[in-house]
Amino acid sequence: MSNDNASPTPGWLKIVGLGPGDLEYLTLSAMEALGEATDLVGYGPYVERLPIREGQERHVSDNRVEVKRAREALDLAVSGRNVAVVSGGDPGIFAMAAALFEAIEAGEPVYKSLDIEVIPGISAIQAASARLGAIIGGDFAVISLSDNLKPWSVVATRLEAAAAADFVIALYNPASKARPDRIRDAFALLNRVKPPETLIIFARAIGRPDERVTITTLGEADVSVVDMATLVFIASTQTRVIERDLEGKPNWVYTRRSVPIEAVEP
């Protein structure tokens, strides 16, 4: 038997969540994968957070090419490399994992035979909730406001349904240069469904040096401060602020676990 057409032994592909901001929330599993990989693939700023390892190749790319980046990573694994695709937050929450499986489904049949592991990470909603106290202490809904991939009417239907049913709501990707007004559209919708005293939190750049938390209300919120690094929370009727009146110690925000029946009745 000739070896001319022999395929290389495939490597593996792990898609690794780095968590938000610096690496304080990196998991043991993520560290192990990053240590064993022959190749790192990812958006530049994520790859640059990681220490250089001798012999480990880096493949950095732009933020807007998820499926292309996924295909590159899959081809590297097929060729025998051990590949860590790095992702901010949790790759499973509005990050690289869905793009990777889209690339597998649409791509070469050999991709389906690869060993693939998704290693979850701490997502922005968790880091922000922890910094505030426990805002997602009750039922919650997570919505991307980006309308790159779904029409605005889908976003609006979901936002209205979640608001009317008194979920705590977290909005990812609330603003962009291409569509700066969608956060205004979202707040106009919320103002029709929720009372003006509804608590609103803007949690910006949690875990980074420029972190900033704003606690306000639907009636008073100034959405002009919202940018792509901001996670927006719309509280439920059971969310409360614990006032501390202590210099340098922020107030806490948490959602009670119990819910009275009136909360979701019209």
- Give pairs for 105-108: CB < 8 Å, separation 24+: 106/67, 107/71, 107/74, 108/74, 108/78
In the complex, minimum distance from the CB of residue 2 to a second copy, in angstroms, rounded to a whole number = 26
Distances (CA, A) of 17 to 23, 85, 127, 160, 230: 10, 9, 13, 30, 19
Stretch that binds a second copy, among 44-52, 71-79, 216-224, 245-253 (CB under 8 A): 245-253
43 binding a second copy? (CB under 8 A): no
Q: Report if residue 256 touches a second copy, rule: CB under 8 A.
A: yes
Residues in the interface with a second copy (CB under 8 A) total 78
Q: Which stretch binds a second copy (CB under 8 A): 4-12, 24-32, 196-204, 208-216?
A: 24-32
| Residue 139 touching a second copy (CB under 8 A) | yes
Residues 59-98 that bind a second copy (CB under 8 A): 90-94, 97-98
* Contact partners, residue 259, CB within 8 Å, separation at least 6: 138, 166, 236, 237, 238
Using the 8-state DSSP alphabet, how is residue 112 labeled?
A: G
Least Cβ distance, residue 28 to a second copy (angstroms): 5
Among 11, 88, 137, 174, binds a second copy (CB under 8 A): 137
DSSP SS3 for 248:
coil
255 scored as a contact of a second copy (CB under 8 A): yes
**Shortest separation between residue 76's beta carbon and a second copy, angstroms:** 19
Q: What is the DSSP string of 176-241?
A: -SS-TTHHHHHHHHHHHHS-TT-EEEEEESTTSTT-EEEEEETTT--GGG--TTEEEEE--TTEEE
Between 88 and 121, name the residue whose CB sits nearer to a second copy.
121
Interaction residues for a second copy, span 167-186 (CB under 8 A): 167
What are the residues facing 199 on neighbouring strands?
Answer: 217
Q: How far is CA 157 from CA 3, 152, 180, 232, in A?
A: 57, 9, 20, 18
Q: Which of 50, 86, 143, 201 forms a contact with a second copy (CB under 8 A)?
A: 143
Among 1, 28, 52, 178, binds a second copy (CB under 8 A): 28
Q: Does 254 bind a second copy (CB under 8 A)?
A: yes
From 54-62, 76-84, 125-133, 218-226, span contacting a second copy (CB under 8 A): 125-133
Asked if 141 is part of the footprint of a second copy (rule: CB under 8 A), the reply reads: yes
